[in-house]
Structure 1
């Protein structure tokens, strides 16, 4: 069996892949699976000071991972999309302190989905969790991307 193709952006993505053994994206058939992305800066482990900025950065990180992977694997598809989010079909979000921030988180998630997916509505599963790997992180977002 041939290996499953995996991809990570230069910088933090490739560092994490080497250090921890996981990729930011894998392609399986007509799907791209994106590892959970947080609101960390793409070049460091700095987390923005506000939840609004953290959510916005997480969405931007996902877009960058999708576009980078498309550039490496499917340049013709990359040329046909404005954003990587144009091909997202499934969103899973993990939130720290969801009970105390539920309304604000839902508002921010809906705002960003409408911004990044103006022409389609992906499915969404939202989960509350106790903690994420780095201190101060409030959310992590995974997506599935349709390549067909």
Structure 2
């Protein structure tokens, strides 16, 4: 059996590891699982625009995958969690970013509306599974 290896994203991941004692990703063999990635910057600030927050969450997923030796091209499953439901700009932005980050494949996707996320201003959190080919 392959031993799990945990990864902490430089910047915000180090801050969250210190404060809340969790890692941003785990790799087991060729499989990488991430914890939920919000649309925060390294100081855990959330942009005022929902579209900017979603775009930042995608960039944070990318950063976290890279720490574990993976990329968006390896992503096979996405879970997204949304505060405030699904106004049109949510799916429009998500679909645009899927096409940008994964132009050669479409992952499976589970999208959930939730009452709250880990930081008071968060409106999105994205968690992915990647299989490194």
TM-score calculated relative to the size of structure 1: 0.84
Superposed CA offset, 1:67-97 (max 9, x none): 1221xxxxxxx6xxxxx11111100000001
Specify the structure having the higher radius of gyration (Cα): 1
Q: What is the CA-CA distance between 1:66 and the residue it aligns to? A: 0.9
2: CA distance, partners of 1:106 / 1:64: 22
- Structure 2 residue matching 1:98: 3-state secondary structure: coil
Call closer, same or farther: CA 1:2–1:117 in 2, change over 3 Å.
closer
Pairs aligned (count): 133
In structure 1, runs of 5+ residues without a counterpart are: 71-77, 79-83
Q: What is the CA-CA distance between 1:32 and the residue it aligns to? A: 0.2
Q: What do you get for the CA RMSD once the two structures are aligned? A: 1.6
Mapped pair 1:37 → 2:37: yes
Residue in structure 1 matched with residue 48 of structure 2 by the alignment = 49
Mapped pair 1:87 → 2:74: yes
Mapped pair 1:14 → 2:14: yes
Q: What is the CA-CA distance between 1:17 and the residue it aligns to? A: 1.5
Structure 1 segments (4+ residues) deviating >4 Å: none
C-alpha contact 2:33 2:128 (8 A) present in aligned 1: yes
Residue in structure 2 matched with residue 64 of structure 1 by the alignment = 63
C-alpha contact 2:78 2:109 (8 A) present in aligned 1: yes
C-alpha contact 2:83 2:116 (8 A) present in aligned 1: yes
TM-score calculated relative to the size of structure 2: 0.93
